[in-house]
Chains A and B, each alone.
Chain A
Amino acid sequence: EAGVAQSPRYKIIEKRQSVAFWCNPISGHATLYWYQQILGQGPKLLIQFQNNGVVDDSQLPKDRFSAERLKGVDSTLKIQPAKLEDSAVYLCASSPRTSGYNEQFFGPGTRLTVL
């Protein structure tokens, strides 16, 4: 089966600009996650969707970050306006179930550099 797809793979912007990332999960996977991975750190969950509803966005900086998952499939993560500290790899992951533990499958990530 095809894996989780993300685009773009790399993005360089200046601070105060806006940027959007796209994620296409594995077909049929109900749960979708966005993570932020800053250099030297492990991935940190930003937001978790179950179908097209938000399950957990407690660590999403809502003053500048937003995410949506229309129709319960693809998802976009937006940063507006970007700050220097947003430089990181943004990972998307999906999993098939909607309860309990289930393996998460990760995309290749989008590396964002904010100048």
Chain B
Amino acid sequence: AQRVTQPEKLLSVFKGAPVELKCNYSYSGSPELFWYVQYSRQRLQLLLRHISRESIKGFTADLNKGETSFHLKKPFAQEEDSAMYYCALSALQYSSASKIIFGSGTRLSIRP
């Protein structure tokens, strides 16, 4: 079964502290994984995808196939990082565009 698990509903850290949002997945094929973010009063938007291997707004995420994890990390949290973060898995469909399975989300709160 395809599943994405985010064990923390809320993560609260001080400004300047490191951040790690956990994500584990279950998927029988070769996964494509993403992090989506929703800032207050804004739309859900793509933050980063594992195939790009890029850093966006200081965030990085490494796919660990052995541990089936895709944790989101940032070395120094900023107040503007406060938002809802969703880990997501793309399930490829050979005859059509992929569909996405979302985790339940983690609310990140950065304290000043």
Contact = CB atoms under 8 A, between A and B. Distances in A.
Interface in B4-57: 4, 6, 9, 32, 43-46
Given A42-B104, A106-B43, 13 more contacts: A30-B97, A31-B97, A40-B104, A42-B86, A42-B88, A48-B97, A55-B93, A97-B97, A100-B92, A100-B98, A103-B46, A104-B46, A109-B43
Contact of A107 (B32, B43, B100): B43
A50 B44 CA distance: 21
The interface residues of chain B, by DSSP majority, are classed as: strand
Given A55-B93, A99-B96, A43 B32 contact: no
Interface string B79-106: 0000000101010111111111111110
A42 to B, nearest CB: 3
Residues of A in contact with B, size category: 20 to 34
A45 B100 contact: yes
Contact of A100 (B9, B97, B105): B97
Contacts of B46: 103-104
A10 to B, nearest CB: 14
A106 B96 contact: no
6 contacts: A33-B99, A42-B88, A97-B97, A99-B96, A104-B100, A106-B45
